[in-house]
Structure 1
């Protein structure tokens, strides 16, 4: 599929989008998986085909299917959702590449700490009124002050996967 996405304003469809993470825990023996249940976003596709936008996650909406763990992840030990309720990815540049890919560069802000982040997304579905992007990226949680690590149980990078469905926004 080689599709040019129409210029204009686009809004994330949260009911048809997912952002999930997974991280090895307990000395790499257990993989903790979770999904953010509150995700919003918007973007603009420019006439040259490039795009910019913002994806916002409610930090306290991470659901790992374990209420005690979810509460701990929202605490000051990890996301500190009381003081930093949002995780924000600001897309500075999204440029179409080869084979339905999009080269995305931006800034990830977690716990009030911002770091540059780049990755390749893939357009998996597109028409005049909607586009779906899939991406996988790795994040070093220590770069964002997420360094709680009791007894050295948590090591390595966190993998974030996203399936994002955007719909053309009515003007």
Structure 2
């Protein structure tokens, strides 16, 4: 089966979408998990089949269920949310693959630093008025100026997991 999404404008359904992160810390013994509670986005599928859009996260909305850690993650050591309140992924292209997959290419911007990012998403519940995309990919936080690492406790890549439900935008 091939993904077929109707042309037009699409809006992210914030209540049915999640973006979460997880990272190994304490020398790989503990996995810290968090969810961004404020996510927005939109997209357009053009008649030629190309897709463009963006997803925006409120950097200060990351919730790891630990208030002191969340405050530190919002600080200049990590997301620097006061100076860079948004994390954005700008979709530059999306191409349907096999088995309901979509190859997504774009630009990830964190702390004002932009880097290319590509990943494979899985489309489900695709219909005339809605589609859900799920994806998991890794990010090297050092590439975005987040190199704080007391006692070398934090190693490896951060995993991002997203479930994004888009609905057809009303005119």
- TM-score when normalising by structure 2: 0.98
The size of the alignment, in residue pairs, is 171
Equivalent residues in 2 for 1:1-150 (5 A)? Answer: 1-150=1-150
Which segments of structure 1 move beyond 4 Å, counting only runs of 4 or more? Answer: none
Contact 2:3 2:97 in 1 (8 A): no
**How many Å separate the matches in 2 of 1:15 and 1:63?**
16
Contact 1:52 1:92 in 2 (8 A): yes
Distance apart, 1:125 and its partner CA: 1.3
* Unaligned stretches of 5+ residues in structure 1: none
Secondary structure of 2:68 counterpart: helix
- Alpha-carbon deviations, 1:28-70, whole Å to 9, x = none? 0000000000000000001132211000000000000001100
**How many Å separate the matches in 2 of 1:143 and 1:33?**
20
**How many Å separate the matches in 2 of 1:146 and 1:77?**
6
* Unaligned stretches of 5+ residues in structure 2: none
Distance apart, 1:3 and its partner CA: 4.1
**How many Å separate the matches in 1 of 2:149 and 2:64?**
18
Secondary structure of 2:160 counterpart: strand
CA RMSD of aligned residues (A): 0.8
Secondary structure of 1:126 counterpart: coil
